[in-house]
Amino acid sequence: MREQWLHASWPAGPARALTTTCAGGVSRGAYAGFNLATHVGDGSVAVARNRKMLGASIGLDRIQWLNQVHGTQCLRADLGTTRAVPDADAAWTTQPNLVLAVLTADCIPVVFSHREGGVIAVAHAGWRGLVAGVLANLLQALPDAAAQYLTWIGPAIGVDAYQVGQEVADAVHAMSNVGPQVDAYLHESPGLSGKYQLDLAGLAAMQLGYLGVAGVFCERFCTFSDRRFFSHRRDGITGRMATVVWLGR
């Protein structure tokens, strides 16, 4: 199963990261395959079995799941916090044998690793999270300067598939911590007044660089057009992939 998932391409030393796909799993119907979300209407037994298979595949069963709310809250995770599912859109840890996870189906998953090891983090960011500053808040919470971290941006909806309205465009233009080049990632849709194409992954990568992260690695797999992935924008009712990071052994 792991060979069908997308493994992070980044020089992160002992940190390991991957994004699951639809492949494998026991979910059926609209969630067919390896759905890992409990909140989308899939059966709880199927999701529990899929999550157990995820843990078995990577050899670790302590996974920090989050109740993602498109906000900026960051959790410092340890083995004790895994007993709950807190409201947060980012988490970090120095704890070995602990997996950090976010769920996506078009939004951006971003994983972090300290260049010298020992610290990992993960964030979930759609346009609301990016505008609100979830990546900046996470970097402020992490020990050491942003320049000491590598990041990997996993699969997300591509610019050609992601049309947004004027409200989103205005919010993106009002973002802080992005520098002056935001227009490079927001283009008017040809022939459609008040509609724009948003390069969500590109915007996140630019923001990370502006915040001081020197190593930004970005996958350009589009969840909308690539049927290996769940996509809420494409299918409406659907499952969720997990992007996970842990300190390798």
Q: How confident is the prediction along the chain (249 residues), in pLDDT tens digits per residue?
A: 667 899 999 998 899 999 999 999 999 999 999 999 999 999 999 999 999 999 999 999 999 999 999 999 999 999 999 999 999 999 999 999 999 999 999 999 999 999 998 999 999 999 999 999 999 999 999 999 999 999 999 999 999 999 999 999 999 988 877 777 888 899 898 878 889 999 999 999 999 999 999 899 998 999 999 999 999 999 999 999 999 999 976
Domain of 179 in residue numbering reads as: 2-247
Runs of H (alpha helix) within 104-215: 127-132, 134-141, 166-173, 200-210
What CATH number corresponds to the domain at position 223? 3.60.140.10
pTM of this prediction?
0.95
Query: What's the structural domain count of the chain?
Result: 1
* Cα 108–Cα 9–Cα 143 angle in degrees, nearest 5: 70
Cα–Cα distance, 175 to 204 (Å, whole number): 12
Q: In what helix (H) or strand (E) does residue 57 lie, and over which residues does it extend?
A: helix 44-58
Those residues with Cβ within 8 angstroms of residue 180's Cβ, 6 or more apart along the chain or in another chain: none
- In this structure, are residues 121 and 245 in contact, taking their beta carbons and an 8 Å threshold? yes
Lookup: tokens for 41: 């209407």
Over its C-alpha atoms, the chain yields an Rg (Å, rounded) of 17
- The CA–CA distances, whole Å, from 225 to 103, 155, 160, 161, 233 equal 18, 11, 9, 8, 10
pLDDT at 1: 62
Cα–Cα distance, 116 to 168 (Å, whole number): 37
What is the 8-class DSSP label of residue 67? Answer: B
Phi, psi of 223 (to 5 degrees): -65, -25
> Would you mind telling me the total number of residues written for the chain in this entry?
249
Expressed in angstroms, the distance from the first to the final Cα of the chain is 20
